[in-house]
Structure 1
Amino acid sequence: MSTPPSSLKQDWLHTPFVRVALPFINGGLAGMTATAIIQPIDMVKVRLQLAGSAADSVATGGAMAVTRPTPFSIAREIVAAGKVLDLYTGLSAGLLRQAVYTTARLGFFDTFMNALTARAAANNTSDASKAGIGFGERALAGLAAGGLAAMVGNPADLALIRMQSDGLKPAGERANYKGVFDALLRISRNEGITALWAGCTPTIVRAMALNFGQLAFFSEAKTRLKQLAESQASKSTQTLAASAIAGFFASFFSLPFDFVKTRLQKQTKRSDGSLPYKSMFDCFRKVARDEGLLRFYRGFGTYYVRIAPHAMVTLIVADYLGWITK
């Protein structure tokens, strides 16, 4: 696998415009592939986070559910209430989010790294690692790319949450969105265009925390594993193990922000026009007070099972696409 297929090495692939666009295109395709595989897990994760919300209980005048839901009970209820395909509710929004978010995230990161590499070349050094492109700069590039991409992709992310949580409402109150574009249109028409950026702050912080966990701990774990198992494990095995470790820390750092983002994006105005949560900090405060600090980590196992494979599939597909188009 040292030379890409000659049939794919066309002159148009090496034009300046295509070379700039390829990191974004490959990143988007990789993210969409991973989302198509992981979507059922994401659906269960969102339902698990929203189950038994204190704000929903107050809004509906009911009491908090006594039975604590589990990923398996939620998946069983979804299948029992409809069809297996219900686990793919919101897939169109998930694919759109990846087409925007992952395209931007990986594209920006690659662009930033190319700029750092160019700076290394300007310093008369061919070895980037010796030109000051260390862990700190790579981490900052990842944080910046994640934050920018999250801001751009927030509308699609909000539509995904609304579509996945719609089934939790009473039948007469459901929006029954026909697809992601129908959701975006109706939300902007009924709540204003700015509503598409509801939960934007925790979304950006979540993306930065997620990227930090992946970058910092993937790099550290890979180095440690290489030292400990240089002669006992293959390079691919070390990479997969490091990805799993990075996925754990990425999940740990980002889950509280993902939880708050989900709550903020799911909420709609009450009959009096008010919202359950006024801001990210208000949501953190009320959930911690009414539901306890551990509530932020409910569904950690499900979240990890979603984050780690999604990251692995995305990176593997992106790497392959980069190889056949280089």
Structure 2
Amino acid sequence: MGLKGFAEGGIASIVAGCSTHPLDLIKVRMQLQGEPVRAPAPSPALQPSLAFNSGRAAAFPAAVPAPPRPGPISVGIGIVRAEGAAALFSGVSATVLRQTLYSTTRMGLYDVLKQKWTDPDSNKMPLGRKIAAGLVAGGIGAAVGNPADVAMVRMQADGRLPAAQRRNYRGVGDAIMSMTRQEGVASLWRGSSLTVNRAMIVTASQLATYDQVKEAILGNDLMADGLGTHVTASFAAGFVAAVASNPVDVIKTRVMNMKVEPGAVPPYAGALDCALKTVRAEGPMSLYKGFIPTISRQGPFTVVLFVTLEQVRKILKDF
């Protein structure tokens, strides 16, 4: 029974992850807006002229207003124009691996805990236990899937870098091997505390909200146990998860994507440092960058996830 929960959750998660991948990519690009792209160090031969020019720049400062930040549709169109339509699926191999590791683990564990913690008399699970089950399942799933998460973020963000600075990973396997060779095994768990925190928040809010809303709809005879109920509960779960997780998601994206040059000071000392620098430079609402594509992705993702999950459960009910 427990293993079947892992299989059902894994299949549904992979379908949902692949079908909403372009929205996730747009979300990542928007979360990186406003973050400076580090230029490569100038060659020694250019140092004198740069020093001279920097002196002139200091003497005659030019106030350049910040350009308006594009919305998700503009970002998507820009990606297609600059990198081609296939770029919208950059990192999809990492998405498949991430869903296989992270979501299969969290969905399966939640199902196991749900069976163990459901009150046998009422056949219901109190909301507090649902949240606790989501926190536990999400945290363990995120720890397992972090290497694929780092690879996915980097592959999705690569196109925004100048051509000379791109990592150009050929796939998720190449990304993980390259990170291990160049930055050490520990780089595969960069931002893992953020990934775990985000996953705990997402899993607890998403799965607990879905179950709670579904029970309320069925318990009050508002709708039958069918597609309408599943879609309604899914949208509610997606919205709650997006609101709760977006700030952590922004910081996670930036920490995972940062490029650490040998011998150079990392852009961020950690999650808290990244959060403080982001808020100081871009304001508190910067923690909700990419919220529109987040909710635009989280809504469809959650709907596809749970609708697929319910169908897979019907197919596998006799196994």
Q: Bin the TM-score by the shorter chain.
A: 0.7 to 0.9
**Alignment TM-score, normalising by the size of structure 1:** 0.83
Equivalent in 123, 128, 131 of residue 123 of structure 2: 128
**1:27 Cα shift?**
1.4
After TM superposition, the structure 1 = structure 2 runs for residues 88-167 of structure 1, keeping only pairs within 5 Å, are: 88-117=89-118, 125=120, 127-129=122-124, 133-167=125-159
**1:58 Cα shift?**
8.7
**1:60 Cα shift?**
8.4
Report the Cα distance in structure 1 between the residues aligned to 2:175 and 2:167, rounded to whole angstroms. Answer: 9
Q: What RMSD, in angstroms, separates the aligned Cα atoms of the two structures?
A: 2.4
**1:71 Cα shift?**
0.8
Q: Secondary structure at the match of 2:20?
A: helix
Match of 1:324 in 2: 315
Q: 1:64 to 1:255 in 2, by over 3 A?
A: farther
Determine whether 1:174 maps to 2:166.
yes
**1:245 Cα shift?**
2.1
Report the Cα distance in structure 2 between the residues aligned to 1:134 and 1:59, rounded to whole angstroms. Answer: 55
CA contact (8 A) 2:206 2:240 kept: yes
Match of 2:3 in 1: 21
CA contact (8 A) 1:52 1:64 kept: no
**1:24 Cα shift?**
1.4
Report the Cα distance in structure 1 between the residues aligned to 2:179 and 2:103, rounded to whole angstroms. Answer: 23
Determine whether 1:34 maps to 2:16.
yes
**1:174 Cα shift?**
1.2
After TM superposition, the structure 1 = structure 2 runs for residues 1-326 of structure 1, keeping only pairs within 5 Å, are: 19-54=1-36, 56=37, 65-117=66-118, 125=120, 127-129=122-124, 133-222=125-214, 230=221, 233-235=223-225, 236-270=227-261, 272-326=263-317
What is the aligned length? 295
Report the Cα distance in structure 2 between the residues aligned to 1:253 and 1:60, rounded to whole angstroms. Answer: 39
Q: Secondary structure at the match of 1:176?
A: coil
Q: Percent identity?
A: 36
**1:73 Cα shift?**
1.3
Unaligned runs of 5+ in 1: 1-18
CA contact (8 A) 2:109 2:137 kept: yes
Report the Cα distance in structure 2 between the residues aligned to 1:294 and 1:252, rounded to whole angstroms. Answer: 13
CA contact (8 A) 2:127 2:212 kept: no
Report the Cα distance in structure 2 between the residues aligned to 1:95 and 1:199, rounded to whole angstroms. Answer: 20
Report the Cα distance in structure 2 between the residues aligned to 1:112 and 1:64, rounded to whole angstroms. Answer: 53
CA contact (8 A) 2:106 2:203 kept: no
Report the Cα distance in structure 1 between the residues aligned to 2:218 and 2:202, rounded to whole angstroms. Answer: 24
Q: 1:152 corresponds to which letter in structure 2?
A: V
Q: 2:75 corresponds to which letter in structure 1?
A: I
**1:163 Cα shift?**
0.6
CA contact (8 A) 1:166 1:175 kept: yes
Report the Cα distance in structure 2 between the residues aligned to 1:60 and 1:21, rounded to whole angstroms. Answer: 52
